[in-house]
A and B are shown apart, each in its own frame.
Chain A
Amino acid sequence: MKANILSLQNKISPEDFTPLPDRFFAEAGTETEEIGYWKASWQRLKANKIAMVALGIILVLIIFAFIGPMLSPYSYEQQVRSDAGLWPCLKHPFGTDRLGRDIMVRCMIGTRISLVVGFVSATIVLVIGSIYGSIAGLAGGKVDIFMMRIVDIIYSVPEILLIVVIKMVISEPLDTLIASTPAFKGLQRIGSGLIAIFIVYGLLYWVGMARIVRGQILQLKNQEFVTAARAMGCKSGRMIREHLLPNCVGQLVATAMLQIPSAIFTEAFLSYLGIGVSAPMASLGSLTSEALNGITSYPYRVISPAILISLIILSFNLFGDGLRDALDPKMKK
């Protein structure tokens, strides 16, 4: 038969029809040990090499961002005049900028900000989105329709534009609030820019999560085991805690995980435009935009933060995909 390059037929050979070896049947009987949902998911995840490599990179990045700055002899705002404008060397593996600040330490701080933004935003989205979505899904009827219309409207808003506008509006009042209220003193170091990003996430980005949670709840609500629990006398609180949440938690975690790279993306974008974190704080986005002026003579200053941000997003994307496949095999594409 002539091989057709577009052929999608399975190549079938006679070997496919030989009986299976005996050991295949011998093992089938003994596999009775109980496997819980999480353990099974972890086994699926472990089998996914790409996701495990991505997880490894994420762990390395976390160490780089949170432990790295402690080991470095420089601080992110320290200006060593004599070392200004150095190319990568032993003393400064990523080089220095024109003020003599060590780019590696600044990259570590930038990575830390990216990771914090990613995790905190994903948590905000997870909490607000699942509460809102489960209320809408459980209530049903007119309440549900009304709540989902609000979601539809927020969903159709181009969020990047509103982020920019909202960020500008709340930055300054936030600064004064933090400065004047002793209780918020701790927040000063984070900076109003980051808090503004979190607030915007809390206001806008949860809608996707809310839709997914509502869909899940609606689907679960009609399952017979929920009716069965009701027939046992199970009340709403117990129903959510014991039956509904455990059955959609996998998908929630996976969706929240994929929220992390998108949040990191947004932060880098805003910082690049100069409306994210404020100087002298370093973000991977602002590091690149600072370096862009001298790109013809000092391309290395652009390269390290650019590679880092791409690596962070790439590993979270790949790990998120793997996690989704592992936690919810039904969603696998």
Chain B
Amino acid sequence: MTVSNQTTSGAGKDILLEVRGLKKYFQVKTGLFKSVDLKAVDDVSFSIRKGETLGIVGESGCGKTTLGRTILRLEEPTGGDILYAGESILHRDMNEFRDKMQIVFQDPYASLDPRKTVSDIIGEAMDIRKMYPNKAERRDRILELMELVGLNQQFYNRFPHEFSGGQRQRIGIARSLAAGPSFIVCDEPVSALDVSIQAQIINMLEDLQKEKQLTYLFIAHDLAVVKHISRHVGVMYLGHMVELAESYELYKNPLHPYTQMLLSSIPVANPDLSRSRKRIRLTGEIPSPLSPPSGCPFRNRCPKADGKCAECLPSLEDTGSGHLAACHHL
């Protein structure tokens, strides 16, 4: 994986998705005529190679969901650029890319139209593109997709309310696969599910990735889930990417104080190990994104914060061997 902070750096041939300095600001009304920018995603850059997974973690409200949606232009970006297979998607009709770039949603209940049958939900992408004018072919293709995600064929004409959360999420995954995408944003696909189901869904996503050479942007608030599936992991805080490294490296050697805190908050099953581990407690709350601290966004919760942190924003820099972190105290 190549991370390009300088937008000019040459992208390797096998890079599928590249994000350069992406910004998404929302205008929030605070008074009759006043409004403030809410910087949900602020200057985020990364790239993902074909067939790999980039995990994004962060507390709720850090902008990770907005990042995923902005990449698919479900929200229009305020600035920056998004390149799919080397081509900017911002200056073209997004519908040309929709069959290649897909999303699996967090909430398996709200994301399925309650008035549509399973077959119509899965088949929607094909219907929009008129991929199968022949009814029998369409049916076969939908059944094939259902089998792929482990749904029984007899559910073909059922409605979403008849299913459990895990089954609904399978429907959602089948839907995202319908148009034959190569890149999928998985927006916390398992956080609404029971723990026992989580593993099934994650394993299925992994199998699908191998089988179809899929590229994932996997968003989660849980480091443990991300660790399992991702090749690389990025940590977000208040709209900023604060650390980005290979999964193994990040877990073994977290550099940013925020990542260290997040990692030490993962419960460990082994009590001996748990006791011997040095814990750094995550104190305080995420500040309101409407009035973030000056300089480093993390400084009001950071044990290492000093005058420099209040003055300027640390940039995301390579500390060697592709491990990037944004902190003045490295």
Residues of A in contact with B (beta carbons under 8 Å apart):
32, 34, 36-37, 223-225, 227-235, 238, 242-243, 246-247
Contact = CB atoms under 8 A, between A and B. Distances in A.
Given A225-B110, A233-B95, A243-B113, 8 more contacts: A34-B162, A37-B115, A224-B106, A228-B172, A231-B176, A233-B129, A233-B179, A234-B124
B66 interface: no
Contacts of A224: 105-107, 110-111
Contacts of B178: 232
A32 B154 CA distance: 11
Most buried by B among A223, A228, A246: A228
Interface in B127-153: 128-129
Interface of B: 69, 72, 74, 95, 98-99, 102-103, 105-107, 110-116, 124-125, 128-129, 157-159, 162, 172, 175-176, 178-179
Contacts of B110: 223-225
A34 B159 contact: yes
Given A238-B128, A247-B113, A228 B105 contact: yes
A219 to B, nearest CB: 12
Given A34-B159, A224-B105, A227-B74, A232 B113 contact: no
The dominant DSSP class at the B interface is: loop
A58 to B, nearest CB: 28
A233 B115 contact: no
Nearest to B96: A233
Contact of A231 (B72, B114, B158, B159): B72
Nearest to A243: B113
19 contacts: A34-B157, A37-B115, A37-B159, A224-B105, A225-B110, A227-B74, A227-B111, A228-B111, A228-B112, A228-B175, A229-B124, A231-B74, A231-B102, A232-B98, A232-B125, A233-B99, A233-B128, A233-B129, A242-B116
A234 B128 contact: yes
B124 A232 contact: yes
B115 A246 contact: yes
Contacts of A243: 113, 115
A225 B112 contact: yes
A76 B157 CA distance: 54
B115 A231 contact: no
Nearest to A234: B128
B97 to A, nearest CB: 9
A232 B48 CA distance: 22
Contacts of A247: 113-115
Contacts of B172: 228
Contacts of B179: 232-233
A103 to B, nearest CB: 49
A34 B155 CA distance: 9
Contacts of B111: 224-225, 227-228
Nearest to B126: A232
Nearest to B111: A224
A243 B124 CA distance: 11
B107 to A, nearest CB: 6
A324 B215 CA distance: 47
A32 B172 CA distance: 21
A233 B110 CA distance: 18
A229 to B, nearest CB: 7
A190 B261 CA distance: 79
Contacts of B103: 228, 231
Contacts of B69: 227
Contacts of A238: 128
Most buried by B among A36, A225, A230: A225
A232 B94 CA distance: 11
A243 B172 CA distance: 16
A146 to B, nearest CB: 17
B262 to A, nearest CB: 27
Given A225-B112, A246-B115, A247-B113, A232 B128 contact: yes
B146 to A, nearest CB: 15
A225 B175 CA distance: 12
Q: Which 6 A-B pairs have the closest CB atoms?
A: A233-B98, A224-B110, A224-B111, A225-B113, A246-B115, A232-B125
A140 to B, nearest CB: 14
Contacts of B106: 224
Contacts of A233: 95, 98-99, 125, 128-129, 179
A232 B172 CA distance: 11
B283 to A, nearest CB: 33
Given A225-B112, A238-B128, A232 B175 contact: yes
Contacts of B115: 37, 243, 246-247
Contacts of A242: 116, 124
A89 B179 CA distance: 75
A32 B103 CA distance: 30
A204 B192 CA distance: 46
A222 B103 CA distance: 17
B77 to A, nearest CB: 16
Contacts of B162: 32, 34
Nearest to B185: A231
A228 B159 CA distance: 17
B199 to A, nearest CB: 24
A230 B128 CA distance: 11
A243 B116 CA distance: 8
Nearest to B160: A225
A310 B157 CA distance: 45
A165 to B, nearest CB: 37
B113 A229 contact: yes
